């Protein structure tokens, strides 16, 4: 039985680095609901600049950032378009309906990605029977797609088509930083096709809490009011924003290491009998492991018993997410654990 548990459930489990903790302890703060927290203001400005948008808003979570965007782009009774496995639909507790009275029309496509034709065939025109389609949501990298990256040209084409059809475009860029590293492109290039973009500081970048929503100044003004309504107006939030600044300034480039570790895990598991892994589909920091004869939930439990955490993401699939707090040696131990479980009879 190994000592320390290796946690590959998500990159959300990363803890703030020593530099972040120092920055948090020393942060200059004020009351952010009055707009008087200098560290939050700086984070919002730096994030907006990095993403090529006029304004930014610090929010407690990616979910809140996405849902504020939905509220800003729609009215009650409207419809938004999103991939059937998108986070905004699949993992946000029905919030578009709950908070905005917005229905979601689902699109299909390869690992979270689609083309203008999928958008075109989902649009139904202005007939009184139909809700008004007002928003398209895209996700890059795509979580349930296994960390898949949108090809920039395809993203531009989809966004241009949607805008031509009168839809706004929101980019769930929780892991846009990973896409930027994988493509070796500035984050602003990847965010350019979207009206609004949400990016997380609390995943691969290791900040303890927080995301930013960036977009046009007037929209971010309205977003600030929705953030207040949802209870996300925080006071001396500069202690959190200080960690976010360290994240933005120092933690992006190292994501390449997480990507290399994900490839390492995928390649090591590819020829383990009983497992199904396609190393060719690993584009960033996620690996989807098919568990063959095992129900994934039971496989996950068996891994846990030998000190490795990885969640079932589907009936017969486990998701492995690499991150800062699981260096190569931990990935090697995780591979050994997967091998050990796969060698047992399925149960
Ligand atoms: N994803 C989490 C879980 O919610 C599934 C994870 O462990 O991957 N957009 C995307 C693409 C995300 O992956 C997540 C979190 C969010 C938004 C929401 O961010 P938070 O957790 O900060 O609300």
Atom of ligand 1 nearest to the CA of 139: 11
Each residue's pLDDT tens digit, 63-91? 999 999 999 999 999 999 999 999 999 99
Query: 87 CA distance to ligand 1 centroid (A)?
Result: 7
**Residue 3: predicted pLDDT:** 76
Same domain, 245 and 263: no
Q: Is residue 347 part of a domain?
A: no
Q: Is residue 42 part of a domain?
A: yes
163 — pLDDT class (breaks 50, 70, 90): very high
CATH number of residue 276's parent domain: 3.90.1150.10
Q: Is residue 332 part of a domain?
A: yes
pLDDT at 1 > cutoff 50: no
Same domain, 201 and 288: no
What size, in residues, is the chain? 347
Strand partners, 139: 172
Compute the half-sphere exposure of residue 2: CA atoms within 13 Å on the CB side of its CA.
18
- The CA distance from 27 to 42, in Å, is 11
Q: Is residue 102 part of a domain?
A: yes
pLDDT at 43 > cutoff 90: yes
Same domain, 245 and 287: no
The residue among 186, 218, 250 that closes a domain is 250
Which of 143, 177, 210, 318 has the most ligand 1 atoms within 8 A of CB, as the residue to mutate?
143
CB–CB of 302/318 below 8 Å? no
Sign of CA dihedral 56, 58, 59, 62: positive
Q: Is residue 1 part of a domain?
A: no
DSSP labels, 267-336? HHHHTSTT-B--GGG--SSEEEEE-TTS-HHHHHHHHHHTTEE-EEEETTEEEEE--TTS-HHHHHHHHH
CB–CB of 88/96 below 8 Å? yes
Same domain, 49 and 189: yes
Same domain, 230 and 313: no
For 76-216, where are the alpha helices, taking DSSP H only? 87-90, 95-100, 116-122, 152-164, 176-183, 187-191
Same domain, 237 and 292: no
Which residue puts its alpha carbon closest to atom 4 of ligand 1?
91
Same domain, 145 and 163: yes
CATH number of residue 168's parent domain: 3.40.640.10
Burial (CB count <10 Å: 0-12, 13-18, 19+), residue 129:
exposed
Per the omega criterion (within 30 degrees of 0), is the bond before 141 cis?
yes
Each residue's pLDDT tens digit, 283-314? 999 999 999 999 999 999 999 999 999 999 99
The residue among 250, 279, 297 that closes a domain is 250
Same domain, 42 and 176: yes
Same domain, 135 and 39: yes
Q: Is residue 32 part of a domain?
A: yes
Q: Is residue 177 part of a domain?
A: yes
Query: 132 CA distance to ligand 1 centroid (A)?
Result: 27
Query: 172 CA distance to ligand 1 centroid (A)?
Result: 10
Listed in order, strand segments (DSSP E) in 24-74 are 55-59
Could you tell me the residue range of the domain that residue 334 belongs to?
A: 6-13+254-342
When pLDDT is averaged across residues 218-238 and rounded to a whole number, the result is 98
Query: 62 CA distance to ligand 1 centroid (A)?
Result: 6
pLDDT at 323 > cutoff 50: yes
Which residue puts its alpha carbon closest to atom 6 of ligand 1?
10
Same domain, 92 and 178: yes
Looking at the 3D structure of the chain, how many domains does it have?
A: 2
Same domain, 100 and 215: yes
pLDDT at 2 > cutoff 60: no
Reduce the DSSP state of residue 163 to 3 states and report it: helix
Each residue's pLDDT tens digit, 119-157? 999 999 889 999 999 999 999 999 999 999 999 999 999
Q: What is the overall mean pLDDT for the chain?
A: 98
Atom of ligand 1 nearest to the CA of 10: 7
Which of 87, 99, 112, 138 has the most ligand 1 atoms within 8 A of CB, as the residue to mutate?
87
Query: 173 CA distance to ligand 1 centroid (A)?
Result: 10
Q: Is residue 305 part of a domain?
A: yes
Token pair, residue 324, equals 């800062």
The residue among 250, 275, 304 that closes a domain is 250
- The CA distance from 261 to 70, in Å, is 34
Same domain, 154 and 260: no
- The CA distance from 259 to 287, in Å, is 10
């Amino acid at each position: 039985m190994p000592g320390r548990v290796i946690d590959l459930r998500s990159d959300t489990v990363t803890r703030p680095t020593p530099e972040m903790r120092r920055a948090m302890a020393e942060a200059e703060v004020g009351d952010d609901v009055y707009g008087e927290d200098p560290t939050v203001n700086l984070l919002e400005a730096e994030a907006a600049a990095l993403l090529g948008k006029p304004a930014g808003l610090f929010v407690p979570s990616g979910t809140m950032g996405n849902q504020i965007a939905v509220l800003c782009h729609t009215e009650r009774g409207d419809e938004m378009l999103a991939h059937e496995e998108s986070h905004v639909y699949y993992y946000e507790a029905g919030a578009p309906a709950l908070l905005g009275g917005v229905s979601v029309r689902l699109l299909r496509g390869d690992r979270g990605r689609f083309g203008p034709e999928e958008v075109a065939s989902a649009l139904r025109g202005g007939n009184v029977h139909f809700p008004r389609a007002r928003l398209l949501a895209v996700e890059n990298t795509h979580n349930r797609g296994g960390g898949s990256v949108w090809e920039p040209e395809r993203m531009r084409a989809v966004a241009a088509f949607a805008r031509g059809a009168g839809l706004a475009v929101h980019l769930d860029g929780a892991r846009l930083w990973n896409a930027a590293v994988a493509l070796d492109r500035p984050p602003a290039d990847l965010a350019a096709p979207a009206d609004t973009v949400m990016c997380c500081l609390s995943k691969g970048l290791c900040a303890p809490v927080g995301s930013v929503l960036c977009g046009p100044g007037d929209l971010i003004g309205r977003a600030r009011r929705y953030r207040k309504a949802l209870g996300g107006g925080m006071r001396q939030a500069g202690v959190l924003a200080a960690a976010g600044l360290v994240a933005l300034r120092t933690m992006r480039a190292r994501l390449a290491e997480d990507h290399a570790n994900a490839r390492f895990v995928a390649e090591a598991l590819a020829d383990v009998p009983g497992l199904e892994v396609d190393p060719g589909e690993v584009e960033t920091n996620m690996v989807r492991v098919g568990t063959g004869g095992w129900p994934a939930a039971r496989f996950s439990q068996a891994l846990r018993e030998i000190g490795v955490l990885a969640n079932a993401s589907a009936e017969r699939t486990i998701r492995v997410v690499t991150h800062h707090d699981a260096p190569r040696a931990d990935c090697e131990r995780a591979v050994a654990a997967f091998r050990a479980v796969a060698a047992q009879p399925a149960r």
